Amino acid sequence: MPEEATQEKPAAKSKDEIALELMKFIAVTTGYGKGPAQAGFGAKGTRTAEEYAESLLELFERCRQAVNRQP
């Protein structure tokens, strides 16, 4: 029996899933929320886990707003 090739459409992503993908892309490519580099004057040092998580949540909310914006 020959195998039948089925053409299934991928499930449409929700706007929150798109916002999450956008947030992950921005966070990974820019180092968002990790704080400034350690060299030079005025460096605050490393951020706590809570500060890092809070900055990622803020970024996710901004991504949600961008995705939900009407053209």
| DSSP for 1-66, written as a single string | -PPPPP-PPPPPPPHHHHHHHHHHHHHHHH-TTS---SSSTT---PPPHHHHHHHHHHHHHHHHHH
> Which tens digit of pLDDT belongs to each residue from 13-29?
899 999 999 999 999 99
> Which tens digit of pLDDT belongs to each residue from 37-54?
555 555 556 678 899 899
